[in-house]
Each structure stands twice: as C-alpha cells, then as structure tokens.
Amino acid sequence: MLIMSIESTCDETAVAITENGRRVLTDQIFSQADLHAVYGGVVPEIASRSHVEVISQLSERALSVAGVAKRDLDAVAVAYAPGLIGAVLVGVNFAKSVAYALGIPLVPVHHIKGHIAANYIAFPELEPPFLCLAISGGNTLLVDVRDYTDMKIVGSTRDDAAGECFDKTARVLGLPYPGGKHVDALSKNGSDSKYVLPRSHVEGSPYDMSFSGLKTAVVNLVHNAEQKGEELDRESLCASFGRAVSESLVPRTMQLARELGYKKIAVAGGVAANSRIREDFRAAAEKEGAQLFIPPLSLCGDNGAMIGCQGYYEYLAGTRADTALNAYANMEL
Ligand code: KG4
C-alpha cells in the first residue's frame, strides 16, 4: 500500500512516500530553520507562508524520486494536530486536495503518534506494546503505547517542554536557533558537575515533569554573571544543563517501565537526538536488561515518513477523514 504523507506542523515542510508503513521510498524535507534563525524562534506567519510556497513542489519531487505515479497512491496521510495552527492548515488543506483530486482516502495523523512511529521505520522488529518517551520542541510525554493506535499518556510536563528549555538555554547563551543541537555540541567539552541546577519533582505525580524552574535557573545564572562581569564556562553550563534534563527524563522513564512491566522502551522526537540523553538511556537500559529503541538522528526531528508510517496503521484501524477535516493546535493522543 502506497501512502503520500504530509507534515507541516511547525517549521519543516515534509512530503514522504512510504510503502506498507515501514518502507520509506522517499522523504522530502524542507527546513525553514534559516528563515526563523534571525528572529531566534519560529515566527508562525512566516512558517505558514513558507509551507504554502514549497508544499506543491515537494510533493512533485517526492513522486518523481520515488518513481511513483499519482494514480498509484492508495491514500494520503496528514499531520492534523498538534502544532502551529496556520502551519498545520497548509498541510491539511493540501492533503485534502490530493485526496479529493485522486479520489483516495484521507487519513488524519496525530503528530506525536507520528514521532513514536519513527521507531517502527528504524526498527523493523519493534511492535507494541512498549513505553515511549516523546520529547520534542512542544511536548514532553511518557506514553504507554498499548497498540499501534491505542496510546495513553501516563506523564507529561506541567509547563515547558524539554526542547523549549534547550532552545531557551541556547538563546540566553547567544547560540543560533534551533538551539538544542548547539547546546549539545558545546556540552561535549564541559564538566557536567560545575553548575548546580535544579531537577523538578511534581508532588503526588511521580511521572509528571516540569522544566520551567530549570529554565529560569539557567537564565538567572547567565544574567547574574553578565551583571557581575564574570566569565561563564559555557561548555560546562551546557553540560550541567544537559545532565539536569537527562536526569529528569531517564530515571523517570525507567521507573515507569518497571511499574508497567515493560522491557521495551522507545524514545522519540527532536530532543531524542541529544547525545547525553541517548547515552544515559543506553546505560540505564543495559543495567535494567531492557531493549532500547532510539531512532537515528534523521528520524528524530520532524519528517514526513513518520506520518506515513503512523498513517498506515491508522488506515488499517479504519481511521478516515473527509474533506471537512480541520487542523488543531492541541489534541489529545
Ligand atoms: O521534534 P522536533 O523536530 O519538532 C517538534 O515537533 O517540536 O523537535 C525540535 C526540538 C527543538 O527544541 C530542538 O532544539 C531540539 O528538538 N533538538 C535537540 C537536539 N536536536 C534537536 N535538543 C537537544 N539536543 C539535540 N541534539
């Protein structure tokens, strides 16, 4: 079954062609990062306009690279939530037009379920049930993946997402947007115990998380140093910060896996590219005798293939939308 899938929830426009969910024929991704870099963050209107400009050409290129004719497509899948509303609308409207013009089913896909499905592409042997930590620019969720389409959020951030916290730290240190990978790169030459940063704990909700205290601590530390004219050890600050985020995520995930009786743990989303988090998960899983699944960097960030993969399983489960499909800024899993 051939699916064209579309992702436009934030600052990447992506169109992929996948076969039977897990085989990626092509994944055409246009990153808008350069357009937003000058503003230090995503500007929603610029994002929407850029999606409008590139989405048709990307879909033509996807078909030609995959060697697939339009008439061979069996369905079109689209990320319809959550995300920047103007950005999501572009992908949804385009997907509706494709479905309408070709007379093929339209399959709506939850963006976070797509991130989780990136693991199915990377690991052909992986099947639910398992526990997944989904960490991206806008979400930090502990998800019980009971089946391909049946998932339950067991824990989530009460305020900022882990990715937001990385981006804010990068910004206050004057690093380019999107900052996570720059903080990650700097941290490799620093000491992770030089700066003492807080780890949060939500009273009565052991699997919920909070990153705003950590974010504020970093911002205050940098501003205080500036005011006093003190030189900061930026590499050690990044290393100490990365450690604080990782220690808020990894032990919690392992504890929940134990509680739910899972020996399979997956990680998904842009922040899953972080080297410290990857290393800490590897060590923890080995100690626990658990199987760990973290996609390669190319499948951690937003892409079209993950939407095609999840779209396939949604299709099998009977999920369909008609031409009245709308876009949503927020949506339960
Ligand atoms: O999943 P994603 O591409 O987009 C969303 O759906 O949000 O995630 C983007 C987030 C950004 O906050 C970015 O700074 C972060 O992932 N990120 C990283 C790394 N690479 C990307 N954070 C930490 N370390 C990295 N290596």
List the residue whose alpha carbon is closest to atom 7 of ligand 1. Answer: 137
Q: Nearest-5° angle of CA 118, CA 121, CA 126?
A: 95
Do the Cβ atoms of 9 and 116 come closer than 8 Å?
A: no
pLDDT in tens, the chain (333 residues): 999 999 999 999 999 999 999 999 999 999 999 999 999 889 999 999 999 999 999 999 999 999 999 999 999 999 999 999 999 999 999 999 999 999 999 999 999 999 999 999 999 999 999 999 999 988 999 999 999 999 999 999 999 999 999 999 999 999 998 899 999 999 999 999 999 999 988 999 999 999 999 999 999 999 999 999 999 999 999 999 999 999 999 999 999 999 999 999 999 999 999 999 999 999 999 999 999 999 999 999 999 999 999 999 999 999 999 999 999 999 999
Ligand 1 atom closest to the Cα of residue 137 is 7
154 burial (CB, 10 Å; 0-12 / 13-18 / 19+) is middle
* CB atoms inside a 10 Å sphere around CB 129: 14
Q: To test the ligand 1 pocket, which listed residue (9, 119, 136) has its Cβ within 8 A of the most ligand atoms? A: 136
Q: In terms of Cα–Cα distance, which of 249, 252, 244 is closest to 169?
A: 244
The C-alpha atoms of residue 247 and residue 152 are separated, in whole angstroms, by 23
Measured N-to-C along each axis, helices 180-187 and 162-172 cross at an angle, to the nearest 10 degrees, of: 70
Beta-ladder partners of 26: 17
- Element (H or E) spanning 282, and its range? helix 275-288
Q: In terms of Cα–Cα distance, which of 116, 79, 93, 90 is closest to 3?
A: 79
The C-alpha atoms of residue 11 and residue 311 are separated, in whole angstroms, by 21
Q: Please identify which residue in the block is written with the tokens 């992908």.
A: 91
The C-alpha atoms of residue 266 and residue 276 are separated, in whole angstroms, by 16
Ligand 1 atom closest to the Cα of residue 163 is 12
pTM of the model: 0.96
Q: Provide the pairing of β-strand 75-81 with 2-7.
A: parallel
Q: Please identify which residue in the block is written with the tokens 């050690």.
A: 236
The full set of domains in the chain, from first to last, is 2-115+300-316 (3.30.420.40), 125-294 (3.30.420.40)
Ligand 1 atom closest to the Cα of residue 138 is 7
| Whole-number pLDDT of residue 40 | 86
List the residue whose alpha carbon is closest to atom 10 of ligand 1. Answer: 137
The C-alpha atoms of residue 122 and residue 275 are separated, in whole angstroms, by 18
Pocket residues: Cβ below 6 A from ligand 1: 10, 136-138, 163, 166-167, 178-181, 184, 269-271, 273-274, 301-302
